[in-house]
Chains A and B, each alone.
Chain A
Amino acid sequence: MIDLVISWLRHAGVDFGFFRLMDYPTFRALMGMATALGLSLMLGFRIIVMLYREGYRDTSGELLSIADTQSKRGTPSAGGVMMLLTACTSVALWCDLENPFVPPLLLGFLYLGMVGFVDDFQKARLKSSLGGLGQLAKTLLQLAFLVPFALYFVSSHSPVPQTLQTLIHIPFYKYPLLDLGSVGFVFFTVFAMFSIVNAVNFTDGMDGLLGATSVLAVGVYVIFAYVIGQQALADRLLFPYIPGVSEIVVFGAVLMGSVLGFLWFNAYPAEVFMGDTGSLAIGGAIAMMAFFVKQEMLFVVVGGLFVLEILTSLVQDKIGYRIGRRLVHRAPFHHSLTHRGIAETKVVVRLWILSLMLALIGLLSLKVR
Chain B
Amino acid sequence: MGGLRSKVMLGTGSIFLGWIFLGTPASRIAAVGTVAGVGFLVYAVAVFMARPRTRPQRLRVALTGGGTGGHVYPALAIHGMLERQEMVDQTLYLGVSGRAEELVVPRHGLPIHFVSSAPYAGGSLTARIKSLAAVALGTVQALVALARFRPHLVVATGGYVSAPVILAAFLLKPLLHLKIVVEEQNLVPGVLNKVASLLADVMLVSFRESAYFIWSSRCVFTGYPVRSEYLDASGDRREMKRAAGVPEDGVLVLVTGGSLGARSINRAVAESIARLKQIPGLHVVHTIGLMETPSYSAMADTADRLAAALGGAFDRASMSARDEQRRVFYRGCDYLHNLIRYQRAADLVITRAGAGSLAELMALGKAMVVIPKRGLPGDHQELNAIGLAEAGAAEVLFEHRERGNGADVVDAAELTRCVEQLLGNRERLAALEAGARNLNFAHTEKVVVDTVRAVLDGEELDVMSAILEPRFVKYNRQFDHLISDLDSSDEDDLYHRLYSSKVDEYLAASSYLVVNRGIKLIGALRRRDLYPYLAQHFASFNGFEKRNALIALGKAKVFDPVMVGLVRRGLADSYYEARREAIELFNRFFREIAAQPEAGSLHQEVLARLERRWECFEVRAAAIRAAVRILDSETFFERVGRFRWARNVRLREAVLDAVEFGLSSGLLTERERVRRFITRMLITTSQFRPGFLVRERFVGVVQALEKDA
Task: Give me the interface of A with B, judged by CB distance under 8 Å.
Answer: 66-67, 69-70, 130, 269, 323-326, 340-343, 346
Contact = CB atoms under 8 A, between A and B. Distances in A.
A324 B574 CA distance: 13
Contact of A341 (B686, B689, B695): B686
A324 B685 contact: no
11 contacts: A69-B692, A70-B690, A269-B692, A323-B543, A324-B542, A324-B543, A324-B545, A326-B543, A326-B577, A340-B617, A341-B650
Contacts, number: 48
Nearest to B543: A325
A342 B689 contact: no
B543 A341 contact: no
Given A324-B544, A325-B544, A340 B696 contact: no
A130 B542 CA distance: 27
Interface string B577-611: 10000000000000000000000000000000000
Nearest 4 pairs between A and B by C-beta? A325-B543, A324-B542, A341-B649, A69-B695
Main secondary structure of the interface of A (DSSP, over half): loop
B213 interface: no
A326 B690 CA distance: 29
A341 B648 CA distance: 7
B353 to A, nearest CB: 29
Nearest to B695: A69
A342 B696 CA distance: 24
Contact of A323 (B542, B685, B699): B542
Given A324-B542, A324-B544, A341-B686, A69 B703 contact: no
Main secondary structure of the interface of B (DSSP, over half): helix
Q: Counting chain B CB atoms within 10 Å of each CB, which of A67, A69, A323, A342 scores highest? A: A69
Q: Counting chain B CB atoms within 10 Å of each CB, which of A70, A269, A323, A324 scores highest? A: A324
A171 B687 CA distance: 38
A134 to B, nearest CB: 15
B614 interface: no
B357 to A, nearest CB: 34
A66 B702 CA distance: 9
A341 B687 contact: yes
Contacts of A69: 691-692, 695-696, 699
A69 B698 CA distance: 9
Given A324-B542, A340-B617, 11 more contacts: A69-B691, A69-B692, A69-B695, A69-B696, A130-B477, A324-B545, A325-B544, A340-B649, A341-B653, A343-B686, A343-B688
B647 to A, nearest CB: 9
B62 to A, nearest CB: 34
Nearest to B617: A340
Contacts of B696: 69
A281 B691 CA distance: 33
A367 B526 CA distance: 67
B43 interface: no
Contacts of A323: 542-543
B335 interface: no
A203 B24 CA distance: 58
Contacts of B690: 70, 269
B689 A70 contact: yes
B544 to A, nearest CB: 5
A325 B686 contact: no
Contacts of B686: 341-343, 346
Nearest to B693: A69
A342 B688 CA distance: 9
Contacts of B512: 324
A84 to B, nearest CB: 28
B479 interface: no
Interface in B418-441: none
Nearest to B689: A70
A228 B582 CA distance: 59
Contacts of A67: 699, 703
B575 interface: yes
A326 B576 CA distance: 9
Contacts of B688: 343
A186 to B, nearest CB: 34
Nearest to A68: B699
Contacts of B650: 340-341
Contacts of B702: 66
A340 B575 CA distance: 18
Contacts of A130: 477
A67 B691 CA distance: 12
Nearest to A324: B542
Contacts of B699: 66-67, 69
Interface in B667-707: 685-692, 695-696, 699, 702-703
A70 B687 CA distance: 14
B657 to A, nearest CB: 13
Nearest to B650: A341
A269 B691 CA distance: 10
A342 B543 contact: no
A269 B689 CA distance: 12
Contacts of A66: 699, 702-703
A342 B686 CA distance: 5
Contacts of B685: 341
Q: Counting chain B CB atoms within 10 Å of each CB, which of A66, A70, A341 scores highest? A: A341
Interface in B121-143: none
A326 B616 CA distance: 13
Interface in B542-587: 542-545, 575, 577
A70 B575 CA distance: 32
Nearest to A268: B690
B545 A343 contact: no
Contact of A325 (B577, B687, B691): B577
A14 to B, nearest CB: 49
A309 to B, nearest CB: 21
A210 B648 CA distance: 26
A323 B575 CA distance: 12
B580 to A, nearest CB: 11
Contacts of B691: 69
Nearest to B515: A324
A325 B695 CA distance: 38
Contacts of A341: 648-650, 653, 685-687
Contacts of B648: 340-341
